Amino acid sequence: MVWFVGLCCIGQRTLTRHGWLDKGISMQRLTNRLSSSNLTRSSNSKTSKRRDRFKQKSARSSIKALSTTLSRHRSLNPMSKKYGKGKRIAGLTIVALLSIPAQSMVIKAHDNNAKDEQGAVHVYNDVMATGVMRVASVKSDSTFFATDGFQHGFGYDLTRAYAQNLDVDIELAEFASDAEALKAVAQGKADVALTTASTEAIVSAELATMSVSCGRDELMIENGLHPKTSLSFRSPNDSLALEASHFVCDNKQLKDTAKVANFYDQNLLKNDYNRQHFEKALDNRLPNYQSSFEKQAQNYDHDWELLVAMGYQESHLDANAVSPTGVQGLMMLTNATAKEMGVSNRVDPYQSIGGGAKYLEQMKAEFADVPNPDRLWFALASYNMGPNAVKRIQRQVEKQGKDGNSWANVFAYMSDNKASNSRYVQCMHYVTNIRSYLESLKTRTT
């Protein structure tokens, strides 16, 4: 204990000597400096990074005395965030001495009721120890869409990105209502809730919350998304909430969030003309081809409704469609692609669907190392502009130090460079539209 007390006593003098307190440097920058000078990672593996983060946060949570000492010397700027109409503010202040051994300070994993003296539930410790963040959510066009085990969506993608930032996986559980999802977090059955719940409902559940768009309602509204899509936590003092606020409200992340919102734009079929045209094609044309879609989907291990969504995007389900560039048929195959896929008659619906299904299968194989749901978006982009073009974008993304297997990163690259390449604009619309049509088909038939 002597060495710990000594650290507390000399902490103020040491920080003042280095000019950190006098310069008004924030607690987050102080944390970063201490982290870089004291922590040496033993491995770059996902498990090792998660273990290090776990130990770091355990140390941070266990040295409240030092934080109090520093706060008495000078009022440091706490990090705060407004939450919804209620304007709830969570002041979050952390000091980390990562050189302090953390083994004796770790709160027992799986003990969801473990609290420190300030009443903060250490959910973060559980998440980092298990490598899984449990998410309670309710299906909606702004949170997540799931059918046949295929999960995606605006809120889902942002929550998954946050989990990846922590080097953990997510385990999403669906609930029938926002109230039930919030209750699951309050009772320790989930770590975070992804909902569009009202501020009143969240306050009633005694949870802390933050907007996934960091309060940028206009970003949500212009893309047809619910402006109150939020993440809710058991305590604003727990590091899971703190890390989320840092991640979501980071300026760079906000730019990425805008692009994710653009991909999940819900306005396409909210437009009366577009919706009526889509519904008319499904009612009048789809019955003639549905058995062909189902059969060819089975032949190539696809979702038949995905092929329908592609067919509508390509030709509005018109088997006799012909474009000015010479592509023909329900799936609008080029002459070269048709020959390669063994299609002798491009205007024959069954052959055209089969050719499209076979080509899509090949595109999926080209990106076999990309996990779902991103693999589907990569395959559709390749169907539209060719696999080599998509792989070139992947390489450019990787040169920027980002994950080239992330659709969000590839989509963001196309968005940033669309002024210099019109094919990017076409591809972005192509994949986004098919996603919209597929979700509508699933909603319509379930």
3-state secondary structure 41-52: CCCCCHHHHHHH
Give me the chain's average pLDDT, please: 79
In this prediction, residue 221 has a pLDDT band, given cuts at 50, 70 and 90, of: very high
Q: What is the average pLDDT across 368-394?
A: 96
What are the backbone dihedrals phi and psi of residue 219, each rounded to the nearest 5 degrees, phi first? -65, -40
Does an H or E element contain 231, and which?
strand 230-233
Per-residue pLDDT at 73 exceeds 60? no
Annotation marks residue 314 as catalytic: yes
Q: What is the average pLDDT across 128-138?
A: 97
In this prediction, residue 122 has a pLDDT band, given cuts at 50, 70 and 90, of: confident
Higher-confidence residue of 382 and 17: namely: 382
Model confidence, pTM: 0.73
Whole-number pLDDT of residue 78: 35
In this prediction, residue 147 has a pLDDT band, given cuts at 50, 70 and 90, of: confident
User: 205: phi > 0 → left, psi -120 to 50 → alpha, else beta; which?
Assistant: alpha
Least confident range from 9-18, 59-68, 139-148: namely 9-18
Per-residue pLDDT at 69 exceeds 90? no
Whole-number pLDDT of residue 82: 34
Q: What is the average pLDDT across 339-367?
A: 97
CA distance 431 to 314: 11
In this prediction, residue 37 has a pLDDT band, given cuts at 50, 70 and 90, of: very low
In this prediction, residue 56 has a pLDDT band, given cuts at 50, 70 and 90, of: low
Per-residue pLDDT at 2 exceeds 80? no
Strand partners, 230: 195, 211
CA distance 406 to 384: 18
CA distance 350 to 414: 34
Does an H or E element contain 134, and which?
strand 132-137
Tell me the angle at which helices 154-166 and 251-263 cross, rounded to the nearest 10 degrees.
140
Whole-number pLDDT of residue 325: 85
Whole-number pLDDT of residue 375: 96
In this prediction, residue 230 has a pLDDT band, given cuts at 50, 70 and 90, of: very high
Percent of the chain with pLDDT over 90: 68
pLDDT digit string, tens, across residues 283-320: 999 999 999 999 999 999 999 999 999 999 999 999 99
Higher-confidence residue of 108 and 217: namely: 217
Q: What is the average pLDDT across 367-380?
A: 95
Locate tokens 């109409």: which residue? 85
Whole-number pLDDT of residue 120: 60
Task: Give the total residue count for the chain.
Answer: 446
* Domains along the chain with CATH numbers: 2-263 (3.40.190.10), 268-445 (1.10.530.10)
Higher-confidence residue of 81 and 260: namely: 260
Q: What is the average pLDDT across 70-86?
A: 35
Q: What is the average pLDDT across 383-404?
A: 96
Whole-number pLDDT of residue 150: 76
Least confident range from 32-36, 200-204, 281-285: namely 32-36
Whole-number pLDDT of residue 65: 36
Per-residue pLDDT at 130 exceeds 50? yes
Catalytic hit among 314, 340, 366, 398:
314
Cα separations in angstroms, 416 against 61, 154, 411, 424, 427: 40, 19, 9, 10, 13
CA distance 158 to 271: 26
